[in-house]
């Protein structure tokens, strides 16, 4: 990142940064993966066992509803409340001791033991089947099943104990009520004896009332005794509402591992850490533009290098761009002016890749060269992706291919702009063999003719990594330059480009680092204030 240039860092820059720094991303990802694998070896594998409990007493066979003599109120079961009780610390503490979990897990602190036990137990309510699903984790399948079944058995035992206690309490209440009624019978009989001893003075109405009351209480005692006998039988057979219908089995235990320690999790974590590390390093460590340029020129032995802001107004008309925007181009121009040349400098400019936007950079560089008093011609030689004609508000026909095919004269294929000393030659229509046209005799004649007319000729060439046309253009140029986005430019790809140029007896002379400028227009925005004139190009 360069200080002093107000540039943005967009998603496209991030993507290009990652594609150019993918070895570093893979290196950081590999370190994270190996570190996670080492951690995984020290983390014990946990196994999960599962048991299912049923609440209530569902009927196994559907039968028609008939009148029954059982008028007892059936308890209402709340699965959520039962599940909360099943996973409560009170119940789990009753299991930890008998299973010896403190010694097994080597935790002698009660709070730490209960915290781990609570974290390893999961309870899920099954409302459709009126049941509860209990899961527990431990270091082995057998231990996990033992823990799961112990918790389930303890819960069932609790419910059984609650049912027995409730039944015995009912028996005790009936016994107490029977004793109370017997005392009432004794009281009534004592009163009747006293009334009968009084003789005629006793009221016959009072005696009859007491006799009726005595009969009623005795009948009530008979009813209570029957209920007591039934309650005693129920107490002996009392069972809780919870049943273990599917105990945990060792062969059904499943090995559980945190996702971030699994192979997909480690790979994903490594890539994420590598990605954000590369982006973070690029954003955090800033260096001056002079250091960046000096590093490039020293590493690749370049004649010139510099920054090329894009995204501003692409007009070539004088005065339409701020000086701060053009200043980086002027720095590159000053380096170009110091290049040794006799009559003309033929500069071939190509992108690192076809998707890199650089047409605007060529236009601005040509404009500042023209401002220095040199005559400049810009040639768009990228037949497959012509782009420069939109900056001059011209069509791409007629142009270079028309001249090379012999259909038009040179003067008919050149455009003169309003900026002094600046001309432009479009590509022309796409020929079936662009490489054949560039290798023809008319191209040799064109080179000799243009060298005698202009001081600087800037040729927009396709990438040498993609089409063969670039090989011809680079071999006839005096200097070759590559433009690439500064954010995440790849030194490896630049070395590959230099090797590709050296194989055709050409050299890499310069590098332009494109940077998006704030508040700019689209680089493909056509310009105004430019007119087309035939017969231009003759000094």
Instruction: Output the CA torsion 278→284→285→286 (10° steps).
Output: 120
- Answer yes or no: CATH 3.30.1890 is held by domain 46-57+77-256: yes
Tokens 């020290």 belong to 42
Q: Which residue ranges make up each domain of the chain?
A: 2-43+258-276, 46-57+77-256, 287-516
CA 305 – CA 498 distance, rounded (Å): 14
Q: b/e string for 474-513 if b means 16 or more Cβ within 10 A?
A: bebbbbbbbbbbbbbbbeebbeebbebbeeeebbbbbbbb
Phi, psi for 476 (deg, rounded to 5): -95, -5
Token code pair at residue 529: 């204030």
Torsion of CA 258, 260, 261, 266, to 10 degrees: 160
Nearest to 136 by CA among 222, 236, 41, 253: 253
Instruction: Confirm if 235 and 167 have CB atoms less than 8 A apart.
Output: yes
CA distance 282 to 7: 14
Report the candidate in 278, 341, 326, 302 with the shortest Cα–Cα distance to residue 483. Answer: 302
Q: Which among 47, 161, 143, 166 has a CA at the least distance from the CA of 95?
A: 143
Choices 3.90.226.10, 3.40.50.10360, 3.30.450.40, 3.40.50.300: CATH for 287-516:
3.40.50.300
According to DSSP, the residues that pair with 29 across neighbouring strands are none
511 has which bridge partners?
305, 482
CA distance 375 to 457: 9
Residue 296's alpha-carbon distances to 197, 291, 424, in angstroms, are: 134, 9, 30
Q: How far are the Cα atoms of 48, 52, 131, 309, 521 from residue 251, in angstroms, in the given order? A: 11, 16, 23, 67, 67
Instruction: Give pLDDT, residue 44.
Output: 76
Position 238 scores a pLDDT of 83
Q: Are 354 and 446 in contact (CB under 8 A)?
A: no
CA proximity to 461, closest of 356, 346, 379, 405: 379
**Claim: this prediction has a pTM higher than 0.75:** no
What distance in Å separates the CA atoms of residue 245 and residue 126, rounded to the nearest whole number? 13
Digit-by-digit pLDDT tens for the chain (539 residues) are 333 444 445 565 566 566 667 788 888 888 888 887 787 777 778 889 999 999 875 443 344 444 444 444 444 567 888 889 888 999 999 998 899 998 888 888 899 999 999 999 999 998 888 889 999 998 889 999 999 999 999 999 988 888 899 989 999 999 999 999 999 888 888 888 887 777 645 567 888 888 888 889 889 999 999 998 998 888 888 888 888 999 999 999 888 777 767 778 888 888 888 888 877 777 676 556 677 788 888 888 999 999 888 875 556 666 667 777 888 999 999 999 988 777 899 999 999 876 666 788 899 999 999 999 999 999 999 988 888 888 887 777 899 999 999 899 998 999 888 888 999 999 999 888 888 889 989 999 999 999 999 999 999 999 998 888 899 999 999 999 998 887 767 788 888 999 999 999 999 999 998 887 754 333 333 333 333 333 334 33
Decide the pairing of beta strands 287-288 and 2-3: parallel
Res 318: pLDDT: 67
Give 68's Cβ-side CA count (13 Å radius). Answer: 7
């Amino acid at each position: 990142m360069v200080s002093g240039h107000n540039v943005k860092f967009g998603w496209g820059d991030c993507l290009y940064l990652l594609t150019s720094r993918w070895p570093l991303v893979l290196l950081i990802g590999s370190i994270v993966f190996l570190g996670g694998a080492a951690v995984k070896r020290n983390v014990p594998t946990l196994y999960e066992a599962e048991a299912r409990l049923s609440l209530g007493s569902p009927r196994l066979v559907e039968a028609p509803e008939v009148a029954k003599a059982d008028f007892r109120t059936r308890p209402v079961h709340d699965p959520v409340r039962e599940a909360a009780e099943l996973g409560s610390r009170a119940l789990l503490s009753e299991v930890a001791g008998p299973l010896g979990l403190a010694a097994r897990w080597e935790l002698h602190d009660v709070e730490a033991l209960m915290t781990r036990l609570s974290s390893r137990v999961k309870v899920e309510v099954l409302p459709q089947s009126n049941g509860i699903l209990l899961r527990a984790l431990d270091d082995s399948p057998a231990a996990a099943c033992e823990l799961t079944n112990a918790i389930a058995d303890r819960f069932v035992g609790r419910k059984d104990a609650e049912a027995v206690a409730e039944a015995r309490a009912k028996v005790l209440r009936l016994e107490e009520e029977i004793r109370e009624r017997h005392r009432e019978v004794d009281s009534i009989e004592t009163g009747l004896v006293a009334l009968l001893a009084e003789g005629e003075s006793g009221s016959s109405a009072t005696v009859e009332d007491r006799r009726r009351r005595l009969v009623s209480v005795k009948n009530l005692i008979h009813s209570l005794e029957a209920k007591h006998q039934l309650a005693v039988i129920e107490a002996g057979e009392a069972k809780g509402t919870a049943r273990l219908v599917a105990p945990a089995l060792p062969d059904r235990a499943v090995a559980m591992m945190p996702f971030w320690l699994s192979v997909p999790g480690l790979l994903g974590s490594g890539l994420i850490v590598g990605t954000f590390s590369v982006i973070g390093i690029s954003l955090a460590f800033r260096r001056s533009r002079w250091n960046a340029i000096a590093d490039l020129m020293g590493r690749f032995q370049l004649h010139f290098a510099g920054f090329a802001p894009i995204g501003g107004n692409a007009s070539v008309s004088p005065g339409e761009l701020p000086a701060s925007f053009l200043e980086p181009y002027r720095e590159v121009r000053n380096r170009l002016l110091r290049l040794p040349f006799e009559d003309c400098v033929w500069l071939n400019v190509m992108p690192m890749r076809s998707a890199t936007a650089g047409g605007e950079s060529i236009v601005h560089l040509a404009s500042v060269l023209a401002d220095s008093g040199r005559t400049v011609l810009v040639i768009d030689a990228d037949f497959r992706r012509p782009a420069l004609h939109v900056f001059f508000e011209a069509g791409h026909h007629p142009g270079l291919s028309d001249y090379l095919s012999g259909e038009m004269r040179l003067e008919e294929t050149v455009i003169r702009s309003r900026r002094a000393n600046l001309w432009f030659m479009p590509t022309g229509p796409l020929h079936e063999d662009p490489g054949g046209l560039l290798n023809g005799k008319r191209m040799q004649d064109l080179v000799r003719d243009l060298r005698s007319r202009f001081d600087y000729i800037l040729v927009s060439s396709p990438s040498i990594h993609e089409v063969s046309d670039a090989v011809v253009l680079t071999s006839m140029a005096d200097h070759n330059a590559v433009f690439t986005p500064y954010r995440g430019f790849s030194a490896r790809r630049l070395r590959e480009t230099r090797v590709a140029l050296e194989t055709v007896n050409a050299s890499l002379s310069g590098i332009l680092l494109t940077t998006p400028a704030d508040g700019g227009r689209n680089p493909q925005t056509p310009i105004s204030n430019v007119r087309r004139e035939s017969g231009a190009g003759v000094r």
